[in-house]
């Protein structure tokens, strides 16, 4: 992995539940960390291999290893949210993660 490819800033977000000052339940997405990432659309071959339905909405992010990330997190990139659908800890070396995602419909800011 060439470190220069990690040139896009992305933010990991986690869904939290709590209560507001009046005691009413609230839920929101909060920022967990902002990291450098390589971003790319999946190629046609990867789409077929992953049985992806909507190619234009599927994006792959490569980030340095980040412990605790799972598919309940979202990625915020250029004003859009992406659901994490698969995580690949490359060769289990804890150096880089490949995150396969799809865009959250209607997520533009």
Domains of the chain (ranges; CATH) run 3-103 (2.40.10.270)
Question: pLDDT digits over 24-48, tens only?
Answer: 999 999 999 999 999 998 654 454 5
Local confidence band at 1 (pLDDT 50, 70, 90 cut-offs) = low
> Hey, is 106 helix, strand or coil?
coil
- The whole-angstrom separation of Cα 93 and Cα 29 is 29
Q: Residue 43, SS3?
A: coil
Task: Please give the model's pTM, rounded to 2 decimal places.
Answer: 0.78
């Amino acid at each position: 992995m060439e470190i220069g490819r990690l040139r896009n800033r992305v933010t990991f977000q986690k869904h939290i539940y709590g209560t507001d000052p009046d005691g009413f339940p609230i839920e929101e997405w909060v920022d967990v960390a902002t990291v450098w990432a390589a971003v790319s659309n999946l190629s046609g071959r990867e789409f077929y291999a992953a049985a992806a339905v909507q190619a234009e909405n599927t994006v792959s992010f490569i980030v340095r290893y980040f412990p605790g990330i799972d598919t309940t997190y979202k990625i915020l990139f250029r004003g859009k949210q992406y659901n994490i659908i698969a995580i690949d800890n490359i060769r289990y070396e804890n150096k880089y993660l490949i995150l396969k995602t799809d865009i959250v419909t209607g997520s533009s800011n």
